């Protein structure tokens, strides 16, 4: 898996959470450019992608990643799904998890 988020402490705890659930975390990225580069190198099965990245809109990155038969994308944000309306569905991502609800179970539910 690849973890994309600009908040380093969050990336650290997310990695630990995923790894303890048996996922292999291939890499981390802090922005959209880093994410696209890491996907090209590691070819992850899934990407945990923050909606608000410093350089680009996370929805646009999700659309780009999923369009080219790429990895499954799970969007995360410290906001609610309700704050984004139809954009989640339109982005091509598997689903959306509010960050505070992030757990092995919620990730697994979207990736199955």
Partner 1 sequence: MASNAVTALPNRDALRDPVLLLPLAVAVGLAVGWIGTQQHVAGSRIAADLALSWAVMAASLVVLERPRWRRTRWLLASTPFALLGADLEWVSSHAVWTLGFLLEGLWAALLVQLVVTFPEGRPWSRLARTAVFGAYALTLGGQVVGALVVPDTRDLLAVTSDPSVAHAIDRAQAITGACVALGVLVLVLQRVRALGGPARRAQQPLLLAAAITAVAGLVWLGWVIATDARATTLETIARALAVTMPVGIVVGIGSSRLRRPQASELVVELRSEAAATMQQRLARALGDPTLDVAYRLGDGRYVDAAGRPIKLTQRADRAVTAVTAGGEEIAALVHDPALLDEPALVESVRTTAALVLENERLAAEVRSQLAEVRASRGRIVAAADAERRRIERNLHDGAQQRLVTLSVTLGLAASRADSATAGVLARAQDELEDAIGELRELARGIHPTLLRDEGLTAAVEALARRAPVPVTVQSNAQERLPDQVELAAYFLVSEALTNVVKHASATHASVLLEREPTTLRVTVSDDGVGGARIAPESGLAGLRDRLEALDATLSIASGAGHGTRVSTLFPCGS
Write out the residues near partner 1 by the rule CB under 8 A: 7, 9-10, 13-14, 16-17, 20, 52, 78-80, 82-87, 99-100, 102-103
What whole-number distance in Å separates Cα of residue 28 and Cα of residue 54?
A: 15
Smallest separation (angstroms) from partner 1 to the CB of 107: 11
Strands (E), the chain: 2-4, 27-29, 46-50, 72-77, 95-98
Smallest separation (angstroms) from partner 1 to the CB of 103: 6
Please say which residue, 14 or 46, places its beta carbon nearer to partner 1: 14
Please say which residue, 40 or 86, places its beta carbon nearer to partner 1: 86
Please say which residue, 85 or 112, places its beta carbon nearer to partner 1: 85
Smallest separation (angstroms) from partner 1 to the CB of 13: 5
């Amino acid at each position: 898996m690849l973890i994309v988020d600009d908040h380093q402490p969050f990336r650290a705890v997310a990695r630990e959470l995923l790894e303890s659930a048996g996922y292999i975390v291939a890499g981390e990225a802090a922005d959209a450019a880093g994410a696209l580069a890491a996907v090209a190198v590691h070819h992850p099965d899934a990407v945990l992608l923050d909606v608000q990245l410093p350089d680009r809109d996370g929805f646009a990155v999700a659309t780009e990643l999923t369009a080219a038969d790429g990895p499954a994308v799970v969007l995360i944000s410290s906001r609610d799904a309700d704050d984004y309306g139809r954009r989640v569905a339109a982005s091509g991502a598997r689903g959306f998890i509010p960050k505070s609800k992030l757990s092995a179970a919620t990730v697994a539910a979207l990736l199955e």
